[in-house]
Structure 1
Amino acid sequence: MNTKDVIVLTGAGQLGMAIVRRIAYGNKIIVADWKIENAEAISKTLVEAGFDVIPFKVDISSRESILTLIRVAQKEGEVSMLVNAAGLSPSQSTKEHILQVDLYGTSVLLEEFGKVIKKGGTGVTISSQSGYRMPALTADEDRLLATTPTEELLQLKMLQSENIRDTLHAYQIAKRCNGKRVMAEAVKWGERGARINSISPGIIVTPLALDEFNGSRGDFYKNMFAKSPAGRPGIADEVANVAELLMSEKGAFITGSDFLIDGGATASYFYGSLQPERN
């Protein structure tokens, strides 16, 4: 009889892999990505390091695709952990698609996994420092992002195309929404004795980030980390350090929270040399 717990990773990249390497040994891992070749590549690396892994194709902007992923996971055992590292960056797609994946998709993931997570289970979703860059929303806007039924989220007036300036704005409001949904879902996850948190990384060295550093916006990114207190980008294992805390018993009193890991770039954006008026 299979007694392994199941850890589900959505978003097959360096960040998600760094996290599951910390938390998943001895358990079954499902690595899911919208590109099956990405899932297979990360799975191969993990298998070669001794982990028990299944690659799977998922589209997190589709509830049915997420429910299929959950059914596959439950055939392997009880779902004890969710690591969501899936998402689109501002340079990867349209503002509508970013909202569908990063805002709606993440919200559906948190909702559906919150219905099946085992007692004592934990989840972490990767948000972004971008959620901190927007001006504050009103209390009503925050509540709408936190509590609107998922199938009605994309109908909110504030999320209509005419109210979203560009892909960066779409990304920022999606990440702001992620933090609010985590707070609201933490209440529901708590009813099952489970916890959910989010992490908002700054610039982290990954293959995608390296492409950005060498692309048309490269100088923008290099300036950002050069003028942050840390003076450098982060690495995936530094994010995994925090995820490991949040998903272990040492983090048992932490739920509904977001953790900003950006080397102080946001601090510099508001109070240092990255302030927009200085640039």
Structure 2
Amino acid sequence: MLKVDLYGTAVLLEEVGKVIKEGGVGVTISSQSGHKMKDLGAEIDNRLATTPTEELLDLEVLQIKNIKDTLHAYQLAKRVMGCAVKWGEKGARINSTSPGIVVTPLAIDEFNGPRGDFYKNMFAKCPARRPATADEVANVAELLMSPKGAFITGSDFLIDGGATASYFYGALKSEK
């Protein structure tokens, strides 16, 4: 999980960053899941953001003994966003979106599968009371890539209908 999601994304962003031109814009898709993780602290966040790509998987926080399970690995992989500074030196911008559950054929299978009750409960207890559509997530990406988003860079946009807020402060809090 870390080699693909974290390292793979870091390599991709580094390589695109080498050829990005002034005015270039990138938007990555992350996940709501990373927002549910406990705060790692400024030192670890800094290391995840600034460690050279080839040394990233050597960080202590990413060693197998420190990874609780596959969900934890997935959440850690969604935390890298340090390339905004490097891209900014070239006059380019980079942001990420962190969608919650989006209605896709795979998600529909999940809704109707063994975890269906989990999802139905989450939707019932989050402010939006439903999953997102792909168009709703795409609308945020469109803004970020358009001239209307020209001042936005180095940011991550949580698009989850308030599920994460409910997880920390609302009806889903008791289900941590």
TM-score (norm 2): 0.95
Q: 1: distance between equivalents of 2:63 and 2:17? A: 28
* Percentage identity across paired residues of the two chains: 76
How many residue pairs get aligned? The number is 176
CA distance in 2, matches of 1:106, 1:227: 32
**Which blocks of at least 5 consecutive residues in structure 2 are unaligned?**
none
Question: For 1:130-279, what aligned pairs fall within 5 Å after superposition?
Answer: 130-175=33-78, 177-178=79-80, 182=81, 184-275=82-173, 277-278=174-175
Q: Which structure is higher in RCO with an 8 Å CA cutoff and minimum separation 6?
A: 2
Shift of 1:101: 1.3
Q: Structure 1 residue 146: deviation in Å?
A: 0.5
- Equivalences for 1:84-99 in 2 at 5 Å? 98-99=1-2
Structure 1, unaligned runs of 5 or more:
1-97
What is the one-letter code of the residue matched to 1:229? Answer: P
TM score, norm. by length of structure 1: 0.61
State the distance in 2 between where 1:215 and 1:174 align: 26
Q: Which has the larger radius of gyration?
A: 1
The match for 1:105 is 8
Report the residue type matching 1:200 in the other structure: S
Displacement of 1:215:
2.5
**Which residue of structure 1 aligns with residue 27 of structure 2?**
124
The structure carrying a bigger strand percent of its residues is 1
Give the counterpart letter for 1:132 in structure 2. Answer: H
Alpha-carbon separation, structure 1, partners of 2:26 and 2:170: 33
Superposition CA RMSD, Å: 1.2
Cα displacement string for residues 27-52 of structure 1 (whole angstroms, at most 9, x for unaligned residues)? xxxxxxxxxxxxxxxxxxxxxxxxxx
SS where residue 58 of structure 2 aligns?
A: coil
- The 1:188/1:278 distance shift into structure 2, 3 A limit, reads closer
- Once residues 164 and 71 of structure 2 are traced to their aligned partners in structure 1, the CA distance between those partners, rounded to angstroms, is 16
Moved more, 151-160 or 212-221: 212-221
Is the CA contact (8 Å cut-off) linking 2:100 and 2:131 kept in structure 1?
Answer: yes
Runs of 4+ in 1 over 4 A off after TM superposition: none
